[in-house]
Structure 1
Amino acid sequence: MNTESVIEFLRNVPLLQSLPSSSLKRIAEAVVFKRYERGDYVVREEQDVNGVYFLLEGEVQVLGPYEEENSSEFLLKRFDFFGRGIFGNVYSADVVAVSKLTCLLLMSDHCDLLETKSIWDSDKELDAHCLVERILYMEPLDLNVFRGFTLPNAPTFGKVYGGQFVGQALAAASKTVEFEKIVHNLHSYFLLVGDLDIPIIYEVNRLRDGNNFATRRVDARQKGKTIFTLFASFQREQQGFNHQESTMPHVPASETLISRDEMLERRKTDPLLPRDYRNKVAAVNIAPWPIDIRFCEPTYHTEHTKAPPRLKYWFRAKGKLSDDQALHRCVVAYASDLIFACISLNPHRKKSMSSAALSLDHSMWFHRPLRADDWLLFVMVSPTASQSRGFATGEMFNRKGELVVSLTQECLLKEAVTIKPVFGAKL
């Protein structure tokens, strides 16, 4: 059994589903095969445990004091595990092979691989990691089932932010794919508004696992209803043709621009902006985003003034991320929807109009490796809007000018209609 097959097996073990690909590879290289015949003792009562056993083939019976009452609860099968940290370092029961048995044993000396520092590995020390990693953390509930949360300090817009759905669903899908395969495109559909106050259940469907490609569908659910769906394709790295026609526009360097947070502070006192708008910005407590955004062109537009249907800004995650390429692509997916839909509204804004842009679908193509904690330039334009829908396209470049991501999005454009009360209505 080669290393890749071992990694694919380990990905199906519930204990390991929150680990990144790099950790699974190290575990696969550290485990040793242990084989037993039917009736052999794997671990004897009061015996020190050598490490963690993962059941590759066959079944074992845990012979405890209650096995006669409900023996099925003590029967372990493929993808189950036992050992150090499960019942403690010393067993109080016998573990016997029910059939011909093959285990993968991770020796105690290597069990620290189960407790790595990446936020994708465990929920330990969550506060020590940057906010966007904590937002994307997926709690494994069962094989292919994960739970995500809307953190109190995460960006929200009165509902679950669309990029949170995309990033969390992609994170869940990535945890079910062997580490050599990285997402290269995704297509997502926003079906219902998400509730901020309850967890989101993500169920991953393994549509295809080939030699070089894998396909996943992820359904996000709340209150028994599917509220979001994502399709993602993953590919093993392959050498091939390479060209680029898109050119990164000439823009100021990110280091010369002010952050979005600083821009909002300045808008509270900027005399070139309407007084009502300044007062509104000052009255609203806007929590900082986990993504640092720096607009390339200063603007005095507000939500009530028209603007061109295009935008350019630099962005990166706040804080240092681990080296897992899958995580970086999930972070970029999370960040991609923060302002994307709004540009379709820009030419239609007017004084006293209350409007909103709601994402309907969102697609991304990842062309080259990237780092989400280094500056990326997001260039977006809305070429058209009609039938209450806006369409936008985008390109992301790294600082070397390489096109790393292409995007499209369709959104619903809504204008809130204020109905004036009619007084003195007749009965």
Structure 2
Amino acid sequence: MNESLQDLLDLLDLERIERDIFRGTSRPSVVPRVFGGQVAAQALVAAGRTVPAERLPHSLHAYFLRPGDPGAPIVYTVDRIRDGRSFTTRRVVAVQHGQPIFHLSASFQAYEEGMEHQEPMPSAPDPLSLPTAAEMLPRHAHRFVDPEVAQRLSDARAAVDLRYADEPPFASVGEPREPKSQVWFRTNGKLADDPLLHVCLVTYVSDMTLLDSVLLAHGRGGWTVGDVVGASLDHAMWFHRPFRADEWLLYDQESPTSQGGRGLARGRIFTEGGQLAVSVIQEGVIRVPRPREGS
């Protein structure tokens, strides 16, 4: 296990302050706000620690309310909404500086047999045939607003082996494409056999690239190249089948629409063996900066 992955695992190991109150810290951020996937993953950790171990998340629905401050701790308060015979529901509010920055509702279920069907896995290149994001980012540093951003992004993603199946938005600025994107990912090291940990790590990664498909439709490179201003608004996930975050997962993403300064993206996460493991939907703010007066 590399140091970056251990740092990420430490980030998800929240401090328990009271029975249903937890405290987390943040990683150094490339932008002056906490990464949304981190807040979502930490909130799910907090919720999961109040639920029997045999019950795992089957869905979450979340809203990003305010930008998080990377320099301050985040306090997560868990509300035990319901404990049923098969399902458990939790609500989590993340607070900084006395204000809520994030709200999550999550539902947990004990395993049971049922009817099964799924969409087939789309075709995708072998992940080992693709360059890692850490290898790709520095090659495109000349496109970025800040020359150091590419290296800092590479460092931030060292915990996860992330591989684009095609050129990402920051590598194809000015070239509108079909609003679809694929990435393979897995953690850079083996993990313990803790199903909740694997779910929380995939929740963390799910916010990294989901809005890429919106950018591709318009030939925009994203906030890293300064041609859009963006942030996650809400995020929903459904966990269908068991998976491991330390084994290859295919994140197949598309955008059906963008309008009103917002873009919608959908994602499906498949195991390397072809099982549909997770479905994801996110809406984000995506605005084109207006030229300053006099410029």
> Secondary structure at 2:236's aligned position in 1?
strand
The partner residue of 1:385 within 254, 258, 272 is: 258
1:305 CA displacement:
4.3
1:262 CA displacement:
0.7
Tell me which residue corresponds to 1:12. Answer: none
Work out whether 1:239 is the aligned partner of 2:109: no
Q: Deviations over 1:391-422 (max 9, x none)?
A: 11110000110000011111111122231348
Unaligned 5+ segments in structure 1 are 1-126, 269-275, 423-427
Work out whether 1:277 is the aligned partner of 2:150: no
Distance 2:4 2:156 in 1: 18
Higher RCO (CA < 8 A, seq sep 6+): 2
Q: What is the correspondence of 1:9-408 to structure 2 with a 5 Å cutoff?
A: 130-152=6-28, 156-244=30-118, 246-267=119-140, 276-277=142-143, 281=147, 284-286=150-152, 287-289=155-157, 290-298=159-167, 301-349=171-219, 354-408=227-281
**Residue type of the partner of 1:277?**
R
Distance 1:279 1:216 in 2: 40
Assess, with a 3 A threshold, how the Cα gap between structure 1 residues 294 and 353 changes in structure 2: closer, same or farther.
closer
Distance 2:156 2:65 in 1: 27
Distance 1:264 1:128 in 2: 17
> Secondary structure at 2:10's aligned position in 1?
helix
Assess, with a 3 A threshold, how the Cα gap between structure 1 residues 144 and 156 changes in structure 2: closer, same or farther.
farther
Identity, % of aligned positions: 38
**Residue type of the partner of 1:285?**
Q
Distance 1:301 1:188 in 2: 30
How many positions carry a matched residue from both structures? 287
Whether the 8 Å CA contact 1:206–1:215 is kept in 2: the answer is yes
User: What is the RMSD computed on CA atoms of the aligned residues?
Assistant: 2.4
Whichever of the two has the greater Rg, that structure is 1
Whether the 8 Å CA contact 2:130–2:165 is kept in 1: the answer is yes
Q: Deviations over 1:328-386 (max 9, x none)?
A: 00000010000112321332346996312211110000000110011000000001111
> Secondary structure at 2:213's aligned position in 1?
helix
1:224 CA displacement:
0.7
1:143 CA displacement:
1.1
Distance 1:267 1:418 in 2: 25
Distance 2:249 2:123 in 1: 13
Distance 1:201 1:305 in 2: 42
Unaligned 5+ segments in structure 2 are none
Whether the 8 Å CA contact 1:186–1:230 is kept in 2: the answer is yes
1:212 CA displacement:
1.2
Distance 2:96 2:145 in 1: 37
1:248 CA displacement:
1.1
Assess, with a 3 A threshold, how the Cα gap between structure 1 residues 139 and 282 changes in structure 2: closer, same or farther.
closer
Distance 2:46 2:177 in 1: 37
Q: Give the TM-score taking structure 2 as reference length.
A: 0.90
Q: Deviations over 1:64-91 (max 9, x none)?
A: xxxxxxxxxxxxxxxxxxxxxxxxxxxx
Q: Give the TM-score taking structure 1 as reference length.
A: 0.63
Whether the 8 Å CA contact 1:294–1:313 is kept in 2: the answer is yes
